[in-house]
Chain A
Amino acid sequence: SGGSWARGLLSWARPERWLPTCSLFPLSCIHTSTSLLQKIGKWEKKNRIVYPPQLPGEPRRPAVIYHCRRDIKYSKDKMWYLAKLIKGMSIDQALAQLEFSDKKGAKVIKEVLLEAQDLAVRKHNVEFKSNLHIAASLTGRGHYMKQIRYHAKGRFAFMRIVRCHYFVKLVEGPPPPPEPPRTGFDQAKEYVQQLRNRTLVHTL
């Protein structure tokens, strides 16, 4: 009864946030230590939100899976090109493109996508593993380190060991149709609309 009272009180304020997997039984939830090395990232925590059951008339909410890999030994700028390639594709098409890409990050991203697909089928109630599309794929800067690099004639320099993170969000369903490119006509229409929206301010 305490749990239902809490749910009723807080249902108006983002109910999914207040029903994590371990809310009703705090002793059974996994206790995470907040040490510097073991910090759970925000992207991993996105998988933990639990929505309240849907009402009969509501449209079905598609399954969403967040997955990431941390501290990949690759540059975030180079990884970004691969992330941009697979944005908005279906998972099969993305895997096909990555398999025949010559880049080092392609292999890593392929592993991440296969892991995420496996997670989706086993834990997130996704029926068909092909019925997923990539809603978001991002890269982030990982931990950098500095190291000495020796040149000729006794000179030296400091080089950076760069690492990156890769984040992917899979959503169930076919990929959305690509939006048509913005033509000059659209831009002109928007400009004319902006001119029409102008009005007199601070007047009667």
Chain B
Amino acid sequence: MLVLVCSPLPRLRTLLQRCWGRLERGLLPGGLGGQSPPWGPALAVQAPAVLPQAADDASESSAEALGLLESILWMAVPKKRRTIEVNRCRRRHPSKLIQVKRNIDTCPECGNLKQKHILCGYCYAKVKAETHLIQMEMRKKEGGPFKAPTVETVVLYDGEKPSEKDEGKRIIERARKRPSWFVQN
């Protein structure tokens, strides 16, 4: 991605100007002679001791900032373009290829595929759908939030009567045949 600076910050501009200046001086060392560069830690050293404290602090902070900006030039950077052959060796290495999964079986209930340590997706979806309908019935019976009764709930399907054990429990009626997987107690 190419990052373009539409409103360049003054710090970046000064850094670039300084880099350019250094390059020029590097190319023509004899032109300017042995003049000390106008920036760098030498500025703080050459300043006289009679300068006020504020000026010293400013020069020190600016020297630190300039040192930080210059240290950006010594960042780790690729020296050469990686050829497509080298890139392919890395991208197609066996460790990067997708492993073949050996833990896939068939569900004994529905016959769909399932992973050995995970529930069958189809069976889970059908149980979830039925649970959702039961919950809708419960919400209709309660008629609002925070009205859950303090007794147990029993789900009865078509043609089922509550037994003696379900005396004080809340009964939810579902208008369909009992599914084979929902075992009645």
Contact = CB atoms under 8 A, between A and B. Distances in A.
Contacts of B96: 81
A156 B97 contact: no
Interface stretch (A28-36, A63-71, A95-103): A95-103
Main secondary structure of the interface of A (DSSP, over half): mixed
Given A96-B113, A99-B113, A100-B115, A155 B101 contact: no
Contacts of A149: 1
B6 A96 contact: no
Nearest to A149: B1
A82 B2 contact: no
B6 A156 contact: yes
B104 A100 contact: yes
B46 interface: no
Contact of B98 (A81, A154, A157): A81
B18 to A, nearest CB: 21
Interface string B42-55: 00000000000000
Interface in B54-74: none
B23 interface: no
B7 A159 contact: no
Contact of A100 (B1, B4, B92, B101): B101
Nearest to A81: B98
Interface residues of A, number: 20
Given A96-B104, A100-B115, A155 B3 contact: yes
Contacts of A190: none
Interface residues on B, range: 10 to 19
A85 B98 contact: yes
A16 interface: no
B50 to A, nearest CB: 40
Nearest to B7: A154
Contacts of B4: 155-157
Interface string A91-112: 0000011011101000000000
Contact of A97 (B6, B92, B97, B100): B100
Contacts, number: 45
Contacts of A159: 1
A84 B3 contact: no
Given A99-B113, A100-B104, A158-B2, A84 B91 contact: no
A151 interface: yes
Interface in B1-53: 1-7, 9
Given A81-B98, A84-B97, A96-B113, A155 B1 contact: no
- Which interface residue of A82, A99, A149, A157 has the most chain B CB atoms within 10 A? A99
Interface string B75-109: 00000000000000001100011101100100000
Contact of A157 (B2, B9, B97): B2
A85 B100 contact: yes
Given A81-B97, A85-B98, A99-B113, 15 more contacts: A81-B98, A84-B97, A85-B100, A96-B101, A96-B113, A97-B104, A100-B101, A100-B104, A151-B3, A153-B9, A155-B5, A155-B6, A157-B3, A157-B4, A159-B1
Interface of A: 77, 81-82, 84-85, 96-97, 99-101, 103, 149, 151, 153-159
29 contacts: A77-B91, A81-B97, A81-B98, A82-B98, A84-B97, A84-B98, A85-B100, A96-B101, A96-B104, A96-B113, A97-B101, A99-B104, A100-B101, A100-B113, A100-B115, A101-B98, A101-B101, A153-B7, A153-B9, A154-B7, A155-B3, A155-B5, A155-B6, A156-B4, A156-B6, A157-B2, A157-B3, A157-B4, A158-B1
